[in-house]
Amino acid sequence: MIKVVSKDLNTLLTALYVLIDDHVVPARTGRGHRPALTDSELICLAVAQALLGYPNERRWVRHVHANLELLGMFPDMLSQSGYHRRLKTAQPLLCKTIIVLAACCPSWCDDMWITDATPLPCGMSRETVKRSELAGHANYGYCASHSRWYWGLKLYLVCAGDGMPIMWCLATPKLGEREVLAALLDHDHHLIRDGQILLADKGFAGKDFQELTAGMGVRLVRPDRKDETFRNGDLGGVRQRIESVNQTLKGQLDLERHAGRTPAGVFTRVAQRLLAMAAGIWHNWMTGVTSKRSLIAFDH
């Protein structure tokens, strides 16, 4: 099925291009060859690829060349190898764009953020495990929600209540969740406001971890364990928000079909999907759409 560019996606890409060109991509200075496809156009192409559901880059490049409307928007489309190479080198710009989009939304000022870790499978066979360039980065982990083992990484995400990504990282499943989240909060400490509430699950329990986050100005809130006195209850209704965010990444943006085979490739593809979700949320805020994380208007 050939997916056409809807009016909503066209509007999103146009507004996103202007924002990126003004606030993300630095102005080129000095001499040298200027690429026909600018970095701003490249990032918009990456967002369109994720929203239209083309996890395979080769199929995406063929689709752009066959779609007259997309080709009209991006007349200097690269080959598959050129697109892949440029996208990997644009990792810092992808991450910067996510933060810029987040800072433009009212949810940036939310008093409560939500965090969770979700499995990111990177291989299904023993041969892949032995020969993959991800060896040493990926490892075996257990997915409790699906009651299965997997080989890959874990995505740790801190987001606002509407799903807007604030902080994120990838880590091996062998590392403890509290250890990784503490490192993530420490790395992005400049984004944390004093007294920020962070809603987590039961896996982040522990007096030492609570004291550590409190020292960073974070008030950790989590569901009560069965062996604890009542504090916050089960928080089921609020915790469901982060589960729905993960489902958007997996169900609509094909997070588990990233097809990354190297550390840089996996990181780029995850950043691409987080950016696509961030762009959709930002555009829905700007246009007054009620459901901020709805991407239906952009995926066809």
CA distances from 91 to 70, 138, 197 (A): 23, 20, 29
For residue 29 the two structure tokens come to 């200075």
CB 292 within 8 A of CB 248: no
CA dist 158 and 91 (Å) reads 19
Band of residue 283 on the pLDDT scale cut at 50, 70, 90: very high
Band of residue 236 on the pLDDT scale cut at 50, 70, 90: low
Closest CA to 102 of 172, 188, 41: 188
Q: Tell me, rounded to whole angstroms, the distance of Cα 1 from its chain centroid.
A: 26
CA dist 40 and 28 (Å) reads 12
Band of residue 5 on the pLDDT scale cut at 50, 70, 90: low
Residue 56 neighbours by CB distance under 10 Å: 14
**What DSSP designation does 135 have?**
B
| Helix, coil or strand: residue 163 | coil
pLDDT in tens, 116-171: 899 999 988 888 788 888 988 899 998 887 788 999 999 999 999 999 999 999 99
CA dist 24 and 275 (Å) reads 13
Q: What is the CA radius of gyration of the chain?
A: 20
Assess whether pLDDT exceeds 60 at residue 2. Answer: no
DSSP string, 193-247: PTTEEEE--GGG--HHHHHHHHHTTEEEE-PPPTTS--SS---HHHHHHHHHHHH
Assess whether pLDDT exceeds 60 at residue 251. Answer: yes
Mean pLDDT of 175-187: 92
CA dist 150 and 264 (Å) reads 20
Higher pLDDT, 226 or 99: 99
In the block, residue with structure tokens 């909060």 = 185
pLDDT in tens, 34-52: 888 999 999 999 999 999 9
For residue 213 the two structure tokens come to 């986050």
For residue 296 the two structure tokens come to 């239906």
Q: Which residues, at least 6 apart from 164, have a Cβ–Cβ distance to it below 8 Å?
A: 101, 102, 105, 107, 108, 278, 281, 282, 292
Give the pLDDT confidence score for residue 3 in this predicted structure.
Answer: 57
Give the pLDDT confidence score for residue 1 in this predicted structure.
Answer: 47
Query: What are the structural domains of the chain?
Result: 108-258 (3.30.420.10)
Closest CA to 248 of 116, 70, 140: 116
Mean pLDDT of 58-65: 92
